[in-house]
Amino acid sequence: MHSISRRAFLYGCAAMGAGAFASRRGLAAQGGPTAPFRIDTHSHFTVPKLYELATARGVSQPTLKGWTARKSLDQMDEGGVATSILSISDPGVHFGDNNSARALARECNEAAARAIADHPGRFGQFAVLPLPDVDGALAEATYALDTLKADGIVVLSSYEGKYLGNPMYAPLWSELNRRRTVVYCHPFCAACAVQTTLNDGQARGVEFVFDTTRAILSVLQTGTVTRFPDIRFIWSHGGGTVPFITSRLAGAASNLPNGAMAELQKFHYDTAQAFNPYTLPSFKKMVPVSRIVFGTDFPLGGGSAATVAKGLADNGGFTPAELRAIERDNALALLPGLGRAR
């Protein structure tokens, strides 16, 4: 497969497109009321081949069908989003064959790189890996981070029933820890493999948040967080059910030198589906404001950027400075490359 570099994309952009971006950036600097400024760390895309394979597997994601960068940009402009970091959602790219998964991961990552090049400043990328193929994942992480200059890596909460603290992933964590990589985790319905009566609504409505919780417990209980302390994890959907069961997690991960809460508060968490008046108070109490990043889950079930922003403003009791941190500044601190490029 012909491989392309993100840098080559960027230098090949049309001058007109770059000029248009400069004009938008100038408006943002002036603080205009419609100037986009938010950074969405939880925004999905797909490619036709992946959509077909996922649909054949029984995954229902109709709002992803026919995804284009323009669809994302329209929603971003309406919701004041300057930059969305694109990532692949469940079920990932592995459908039983390592070589096919490696090729599909490369196709997806290069598609995201094209969107970045075609729309300077508007997109970033968390690169997908062909897990549970660890050797393939190491090779693709190297290509994505070094050649495509991806902003980080996206993983699912589990693969074939093995959560992220499983020893099989240690070689990958070691390399990503060496690189101080941002690792964004999206849930996967592991229970669906054994609970065949679950429909798609039950899987996404309930099992997703449970699987995120199980993944977090896995990296705590196995000591993965202390062995690889330079990985910067972002957990989806406000950490699943974690804010509500901290005492149970503390008991289950009592092996950690500084306790579970100290590790939980080092993680980052996005706001997708965590901005309602029932979830947000517990989420806010557990997670320092500096560790909350704006996320929408667009175009899946999380809502538009405007909806998420309104929920945060209405239900969080945040100060204007705290909202600015959540909606932009925290992501820039975590991903400084966004500031240079955008």
Strand partners, 21: none
pLDDT along the chain (342 residues), means of 10: 45 37 35 73 96 88 91 95 96 96 98 96 97 98 98 96 96 98 89 62 71 93 96 94 86 87 95 92 93 95 87 95 97 84 44
Return the pLDDT at 60.
82
Return the pLDDT at 9.
42
Question: For the chain, which residues make up each domain, given as ranges?
Answer: 35-341
User: β-strand 152-156 against 182-186: which pairing, if any?
Assistant: parallel
pTM reported for the whole predicted model: 0.87
Supply φ then ψ for residue 148, to 5 degrees. -80, -10
∠142-148-149 over CA atoms, to 5°? Answer: 85
Helices of type H across 95-207: 98-118, 134-146, 170-178, 200-202
> Quick one: which of 336, 335, 265 has its CA closest to 41?
335
Return the pLDDT at 193.
62
The CATH homologous superfamily of the domain defined by 35-341: Metal-dependent hydrolases (3.20.20.140)
